[in-house]
Amino acid sequence: MKKIIRHRDVLFSTLSEITSLIVAGHDKRMIFRRVLDCASRVLEAEKVHLFELEGNQIVRYTRDHQSGDAEPKVELLQETAGRLGWMIKETESDPFTPGRELGLDVPMLADSLGDETANRVIISAPLVAKRSMFGLLIAIHRDGAMYRPDDIQLLTLLANQAAIAVENALLYQKLEKEAITDALTQVYNYRFLMSSLEGEIKRARRFKQTFSFVMLDVDNLKSYNDRHGHLSGSQVLREVAGIIKTNCREIDFVSKYGGDEFGVLLPQTKFGGAEKVTQRIIDAVRDHKFDGKRKRLITCSAGISSFPRDGQTAQEIIDAADKALYQAKRTGKNNVVTTESLIEEMA
């Protein structure tokens, strides 16, 4: 009786903690760790595995009763038709089959799993929320003992909580992305641009580095909208955003600045490198067939500033690039002007 009460206390404590973590939007791995801990203790399992579907991979979390490790072992397994089929089969099969093998393609999941299943009792429960399968929770009993039907209910309850955790984590990531992303172009928004600029200024100042900032404007977009309609104009902005991203590095920040303007932050980049990148973008936009047939329907102009030469604040860097952009528009459009060349002209 004392053992049952102790296990019940562990279960209630775990579920309460998991619920709090889910509401707070914490890292799902923290929640998975608590699920594995609880299943291992209450079910007295030799090993507990949690298989999670993540993109094109399967992440396997393992809590080994005998290892004594504080953290579960985490492994990445490449998703294949066989592995995915195995998980689906486990999801659809009878969860309480004493002495049964795990099923097809066990060696593909882990070298040790085949030996683990010999003379063992295995129960499993799917991680399912709103009809989406996120993974599988498996408990392997030690010492050849038997599981009870209420053990399966417990494992299912824990699997459900883990599935909710995954769903909540995905929702949290989606909301987080929407908060910093421009809805039309799917590049970063103005708010994130300013935050990134301020952060890059602090970093560049600390390590005595430079960076460049590009202000890029779509030439004559209003005229294009008048001729082709605003929906076509919106499509132009989406395609221009894609062209900019394609021609930038992964460490660069591409953002929507205004109606037809984009801001591009180029970390650790001097004027020479920034001008090459920007010219490549300008040429790619000019040669792009926005209607699928003709080139030169749309062009862009750009102005480039640099830290620390053009300012010490985000707004000063933006204003300097904007002045260079104004000069690029004034002198014929479809070209690039740097603040360095502006100073040379004034001299």
Binned at pLDDT 50, 70 and 90, residue 199 comes out as very high
pLDDT at 96: 45
User: In sequence order, which residues have a C-beta less than 8 Å from that of residue 336 and are 6 or more positions away?
Assistant: 275, 278, 279, 282, 301, 302, 303, 304, 328
Reported as a single tens digit per residue, the pLDDT across 286-342 is: 999 998 888 999 999 999 999 999 999 999 999 999 999 999 999 999 999 999 888
Q: What CA–CA distance (Å, rounded) separates 154 from 42? A: 9
Alpha helix stretches (DSSP H) within the chain? 2-24, 28-42, 81-92, 106-109, 113-116, 149-180, 190-207, 221-228, 230-246, 271-287, 314-330, 339-346
185 within some domain:
no
Same domain, 114 and 217: no
Residue 56, domain CATH: 3.30.450.40
184 within some domain:
no
Binned at pLDDT 50, 70 and 90, residue 163 comes out as confident
64 within some domain:
yes
Could you say which of 157, 179, 201 is where a domain stops?
Answer: 179
Q: Residue 26: pLDDT above 80?
A: no
Q: What CA–CA distance (Å, rounded) separates 66 from 45? A: 10
Q: Is the pLDDT higher at 30 or at 147? A: 30
Query: Would you call 29 helix, strand, or coil by DSSP?
Result: helix
Reported as a single tens digit per residue, the pLDDT across 40-99 is: 877 878 888 888 887 767 888 888 877 767 788 888 876 666 666 766 666 555 544 443
- Using CB atoms within 10 Å of the CB of residue 337, give its burial: 0 to 12 exposed, 13 to 18 middle, 19+ buried: buried
Residue owning tokens 């037809």: 260
pLDDT at 16: 67
Same domain, 85 and 128: yes
- Torsion, Cα 197 199 203 206, to 10 degrees, reads 110
Reported as a single tens digit per residue, the pLDDT across 132-162 is: 778 888 888 765 566 777 778 888 888 888 8
Could you say which of 179, 200, 219 is where a domain stops?
Answer: 179
Residue owning tokens 């102005």: 303
pLDDT at 97: 45
Query: Would you call 57 helix, strand, or coil by DSSP?
Result: strand
pLDDT at 112: 36
Are the beta carbons of 141 and 45 closer than 8 angstroms? Answer: yes
Same domain, 283 and 222: yes
Reported as a single tens digit per residue, the pLDDT across 228-249 is: 898 999 999 999 999 999 999 9
Same domain, 154 and 269: no
How many domains does the chain divide into?
2
User: In sequence order, which residues have a C-beta less than 8 Å from that of residue 180 and are 6 or more positions away?
Assistant: 188, 189, 191, 192
Same domain, 116 and 162: yes
Same domain, 144 and 214: no
Same domain, 87 and 21: yes
Domain extent for 198: 190-346
Binned at pLDDT 50, 70 and 90, residue 347 comes out as very low
Q: Residue 14: pLDDT above 70?
A: no
Structure tokens at 139: 């408990």
Same domain, 151 and 203: no
Give the mean model confidence (pLDDT) for residues 261-287: 96
Could you say which of 137, 159, 179 is where a domain stops?
Answer: 179
